[in-house]
A and B are shown apart, each in its own frame.
Chain A
Amino acid sequence: MSAEQRTPVSFSVAKADDPHMQPKARNPKRTEALLALVMLLGIASLIGFIVAYFMNAESWIMGAFMGAGALLLGFGITAWGKYLMPQGPFVEERHRMSGTPDQRARFKAAVVQRGGGILGRRKVLAGLAAAGMGIFGLLALVPVIRSFGPLPENTLGVTQWKRGTKLVDSTGRGIHVNDVAVGGVVTVFPEGMVNTDNGQAVDQTILIRLTTQDFTTRPGRESWGPAGYVAYSKLCTHLGCPVGLYEQQLQLLVCPCHQSMFNVANGAEPTFGPAPRPLPQLALYVDDEGYLRAQAPYDQPVGPGYWTRS
């Protein structure tokens, strides 16, 4: 008869020769020796971890020792319980949980009669405690009154790009009009802002050379793309990821986060994906020394929408 089909007995009354008290293992001595070996190996692994730690071994070696030790010991303990302990099943009667009627009557008397008297003796403290609890409830109003901070004003709508700001790469080097070949791309920042605390994340702009001729991306932007250079904000208008994946034959900028695609030849109009607006374009000009500069700040906020801009 297998253990599952037996009637459960109480552990406290089971005799030593009861079938419930027998282990599952057919040869308990051999199983015990085997499990002892397993646990010894586990202990050896843990000692191996200590040794490896002091020898500055690689982390995967230490991890292997630690993992093997935990696994072998865990296996040994579980197998001990499964195969060498009495297999039962056993039941244990639950003892009585409620008190006697007499105990319950005395407790009730203590709470109702003496408790009220004890509280009534300290009227001032009781009143103060009640007032304190009431004021505690008012704390919920404090952030509404004080802690929401100043309004962001238009800080979300502006960047460090000003009229005449020079375009520089991540090392601070200016971009000469002859530097970038057709089909080339550089991530540029406003000069003087690289490696400072001033919003580089919102300033990052992707500069692409589409051709050698002046390039107009859409009506009204005739002067924005001198010598085929066009510059767009690198922040996706969806959630602000850096739109850095430029495909020169497809003329697409791809956002790595949600696969929005922007047509760079057409004012970065989104052609696919969740982006709601074109990337803002930065108007450029070539200065007397041949370096690229911004004609004006961005004509609209960069990056994703916010509560006053959807």
Chain B
Amino acid sequence: MATTSLSRRLLLPVLILVVTVLSAVVVFGEGSKSSTSSSPVLIASTVNSANAQTILSNAIPPAAYQTGRANSGAANSSLKVFSNGKLVAYGNKNITYVAPPSSLNTIGEALYMQNCASCHGNNADGVPANGTPGAYPNLRGLGPATIDFWIETGRMPAADPTSVQAPSRIARLNSNQAVAIAAWINSLAPATPYIPIVHNVSGADHAAGFDLFALNCAACHTITGGGDMLAKGTYAPTLRNVAPTQIVEAIRTGPGNMPRFTGNLTDAQVRDIVAYVSNNIEHPANPGGIGLGGLGPVGEGFVALAVGMGVLLLIAFWIGDRA
């Protein structure tokens, strides 16, 4: 009789605890990355330029899409390789920037027409919406690194061209296809930065990388690299699961709302940041056991309060229950 009343009294707190733990798992559980992996390559063919106009009339103000700049990254470096009078590679022992081979131009054009042209136009110079130029950005003169970054992180082709910010997804086009498209666009309007190759990441200075990360990256991406929300529906994405090449491309080209870091970060410093991000950010030490997504004191406090207080509540119930 006493045992039934005990279990009846414990029912509510146990229920509360289970619900809080489950909600914590849902909120903080890792691996909830969106992955819609259907219809590769041909995705953009369903959006022809006619209905792109319709989509755009409902879109947010075009200003959010405009980059308003051409990447004119200066190729000042110790190593420069020319072929037929064209700069095909530059860099140093830390990072080499290589132009996509012009032999890929033809296949790159075909892939571009299939996947990109419906929004960015047949000449890669952007599509005006309702007479406003630049609703979809002009891709000329941005440099192969920019094109490669957007395609290889799965942000382009965009699943929802009207969204405020294209999310990182499983890439629709593989690495070779991305380089081919970059090659064709670069043949229209040659520009730097080229596609970077990072050398000897294990030899970089992690501590210096942390200092540079804290100074230049952590303001938006947070000190744990978990990412955070920003203004007007934009956000800084998480830095976990980003390849070294894409880290350099992001730093050197400033995709989307991210600022661009050029002359004030040397290639050696960028390599230090790559080492810190691909080691310490992607594999955090988590001395407490569970990282809880590295979301900061609010999330951690929630778990401590809900789970910790829930358990203490159950123990208090048990101790206080009259035998």
B92 at the binding interface (Cβ < 8 Å): no
Give chain A's interface residue range (CB within 8 Å of chain B): 35 or more
A276 at interface, CB cutoff 8 A: no
A87-B323, A169-B264, A249-B64 are known contacts. Are A185 and B231 too (CB-CB below 8 A)? no
- B11 interface hit (Cβ, 8 Å): no
Chain A residues with Cβ under 8 A from B219's Cβ? 242, 244-245, 256
Taking a contact as CB atoms under 8 Å apart, the answer to whether A178 and B231 are in contact is: no
Q: Which of B189-238 contact A (CB under 8 A)?
A: 215, 219-220, 228, 230-232, 234, 236
Contact present for B215 and A3 (CB under 8 Å): no
A175 part of interface (Cβ distance < 8 Å)? yes
Contacts of A272 in B (CB 8 A): 231
Among A161-214, those with CB < 8 Å from B are 169-170, 173, 175-176, 178-187, 208, 211
- Are B322 and A184 in contact, CB atoms less than 8 angstroms apart? no
A27 interface hit (Cβ, 8 Å): no
Measured between beta carbons, the chain B residues less than 8 angstroms from A249 are 63-68, 256-257
Residues in B neighbouring A247, C-beta threshold 8 A: 230-231, 234, 257
Q: Which of A210-249 contact B (CB under 8 A)?
A: 211, 242, 244-249
Give the CA-CA distance A186 to B236 in the complex, in Å. Answer: 18
B193 nearest in chain A by CB position: A181
Nearest CB in chain B to that of A256: its residue: B219
> A178–B73 Cα gap in the complex (Å)?
10
A4 within 8 A of B: yes
| Interface status of A155 (Cβ within 8 A of chain B) | no
Partner of B287, one of A60, A78, A254: A60
- Which B residues lie within 8 Å of A186 (CB)? 264
**What is the bound-complex CA distance between A182 and B259, given in angstroms?**
9
Among A59, A83, A179, A250, the residue within 8 A (CB) of B323 is: A83
| Chain B residues touching A, range | 35 or more
Name the A residues within 8 Å of B63 (CB-CB). Answer: 249-250
B72 sits at the interface (CB 8 A): yes
B187 within 8 A of A: no
A184/B220 in contact, CB under 8 A? no
- Which residues of the partner chain A approach B289 to less than 8 Å between Cβ atoms? 60
Give Cα distance in the complex from A180 to B232, angstroms: 26
B69 within 8 A of A: yes
Chain B residue contacts of A103, Cβ below 8 A: none
Residues of B258-301 whose CB lies within 8 A of A: 258-264, 287-289
Contact A248 B231 (CB under 8 A): no
> Is the Cβ of B264 less than 8 Å from the Cβ of A184?
yes
Q: At the interface, yes or no: B254 with Cβ under 8 Å from chain A? A: yes
Question: Are A252 and B323 touching (Cβ within 8 A)?
Answer: no
Asked whether A258 is an interface residue with its Cβ less than 8 Å from the other chain, the reply is no
Task: Please measure, in the bound complex, the distance between the C-alpha atom of A179 and the C-alpha atom of B68, giving whole angstroms.
Answer: 19
CB distance from B158 to the nearest CB of A (A): 15
The smallest C-beta distance from A245 to any residue of chain B, in angstroms, reads 5
Beta-carbon nearest neighbor of A175 in chain B: B264
Q: Chain A's nearest CB lies how many Å from the CB of B292?
A: 15
Per the bound structure, the CA–CA distance linking A103 and B64 in Å amounts to 90
Asked if B1 CB lies within 8 Å of chain A CBs, one says: yes
B263 near A179 (CB under 8 angstroms)?
A: yes
User: What residues of B have a CB within 8 angstroms of the CB of A183 in the complex?
Assistant: 67, 69, 254, 259-260
Find out whether the CB atom of B72 lies under 8 angstroms from the CB atom of A181: yes
Residue among A176, A244, A245 with the highest chain B CB neighbour number at 10 A: A245
A245-B220, A247-B234 known; A184-B215 Cβ under 8 A: no
A2 in contact (CB, < 8 A): yes
Q: Which of B219, B257, B264 has the most CB of A within 10 A?
A: B264
B115 interface hit (Cβ, 8 Å): no
CB B11 to nearest CB in A, in angstroms, measures: 19
What chain A residues lie within 8 Å of B259 (beta carbons)? 183-185, 208, 246, 248
**Chain A residues positioned under 8 Å from B288 (CB to CB):** 60
Bound: A98/B1 CA distance, A: 44
Residues of A within 8 A of B236 (CB): 245
Q: How far is the CA of A256 from the CA of B258 in the complex (A)?
A: 15
CB distance from B313 to the nearest CB of A (A): 15
Are B262 and A179 in contact (CB-based, < 8 A)? Answer: yes
Q: Which of B24-38 contact A (CB under 8 A)?
A: none
Chain B's closest residue to A5 (CB) is: B1
| A245 neighbours in B (Cβ, 8 Å) | 219-220, 230, 236
Q: How far is the CB of A28 from chain B (nearest CB, A)?
A: 13
Is there contact, CB below 8 Å, between B263 and A250?
Answer: no
The CB with the most chain B CB atoms within 10 A, among A87, A208, A246, A272, is that of A246
* CB-contacts of B303-323 with A (<8 A): 318-319, 321-323
B31 to chain A, nearest CB (A): 23
In the bound complex, do residue B264 and residue A179 qualify as a contact, i.e. CB atoms below 8 Å apart? yes
Interface residues of A (CB under 8 A from B): 2-4, 24, 58-60, 78, 82-83, 87, 169-170, 173, 175-176, 178-187, 208, 211, 242, 244-250, 252, 254, 256, 259, 261, 272
Q: 15 A-B pairs, CB-CB below 8 angstroms?
A: A24-B2, A60-B287, A60-B289, A78-B319, A176-B263, A178-B74, A180-B262, A184-B254, A184-B262, A187-B215, A248-B257, A250-B63, A252-B232, A254-B230, A254-B231
- Name 18 extra pairs, CB < 8 A, besides A82-B321, A183-B259: A59-B287, A60-B289, A82-B323, A87-B323, A175-B264, A178-B263, A180-B262, A181-B73, A183-B260, A211-B69, A244-B220, A247-B231, A248-B258, A249-B67, A252-B231, A252-B232, A256-B219, A256-B228
Identify the 6 closest CB pairs spanning chains A and B, nearest first: A179-B263, A244-B219, A247-B257, A185-B259, A181-B262, A183-B260
